[in-house]
Amino acid sequence: MADIQRRKIRLRSDLRQRRNTLNSAQQDTAAQALIHSVVTLPNWASAQRIALYLATDGEIDTRALENAARGLAKEIFLPLITNSRLCFAQWHEEVLLSSNQYNIAEPPADAVRCPASDLDIIFLPTVGWDGHGGRLGMGGGFYDRTLSGISGPLLVGLAHENQQVDEIPLENWDIALDYVATDVSLYACQQKERCQ
C-alpha cells in the first residue's frame, strides 16, 4: 500500500471520529448554520439543478438545505451508484427512497436522470478538506471517477468546520473542490492556492 493511501486511511479514521463526537443538538445547529454559508455561493440564486446527498456517519445533514432548495423550486438530484460510478437521479419529495448496498437511500432506478455536466451545483459529502480544494471522501472514489474531466457544475464540499486540515494527501485522480461550505463559513478554494 502506498504511503498516500496509508495517510488517507489514518486521516479518514481520525476525521470521522472527530465529526462523530458532535451530539445531535450540535449536528442540528450545524445543519441550520450550513444554509447561511450555502446561500452566499455566487450562483446559488440562479442554480436550478442541484445534487445533494443524504447524510450518514456524522456527515453534516442536508435536510435543511434540501428544504431551502425546494422552497426556491430548485430541482434536486441524489447520487445513484451504478457500475462503480455515480449518476444523478431526480428526487421528488413524495418519492419513496430505498437503501443501496452501502445502506444509503437512493431514488428508484426509474427516476429521471441528469448528466453531472448538466447540474449547476454538486454538493459533495466531505470527510476532510483543506484550503487548496483538497477533499477526502469515504474512500470509494465514486465522486472522483464520476466527475473526472467534467466541467460545468460548481463542486461544493459540505463539512463541519472541525473537518478542516492543513493538507489532504492527494493522488492524481482526486478531484478538487471549488468551494467548501461549513457551519461557520463559505471558503472559496483554488487548487494550489489558499482559500480566501
Average pLDDT of span 112-120: 96
Average pLDDT of span 93-98: 87
Identify whether 177 is part of a domain: yes
Identify whether 195 is part of a domain: no
What local confidence, expressed as pLDDT, does residue 24 receive?
Answer: 92
Identify whether 193 is part of a domain: no
**Per-state percent for the chain, helix, strand, coil, to nearest 5:** 30, 25, 50
CATH of residue 28's domain is 3.40.50.10420
Identify whether 110 is part of a domain: yes
Identify whether 157 is part of a domain: yes
The type of residue at 40 is: T
State the residue range of the domain holding 69.
3-188
Identify whether 194 is part of a domain: no
Rounded mean pLDDT of the chain? 90
Q: What are the tens digits of pLDDT across the range 5-45?
A: 899 889 899 999 999 899 999 999 999 999 999 999 999 99
Q: How far is CA 60 from CA 27, 87, 124, 136, in A?
A: 7, 22, 11, 14
Q: What are the tens digits of pLDDT across the range 123-132?
A: 999 999 998 8
Q: Is the per-residue pLDDT at 196 higher than 80?
A: no
Q: Look at the chain and report how many structural domains it folds into.
A: 1
**CA 156/CA 195 separation, integer angstroms:** 13
Give pTM, 2 decimals: 0.92
Q: Is the per-residue pLDDT at 193 higher than 80?
A: no
Identify whether 36 is part of a domain: yes
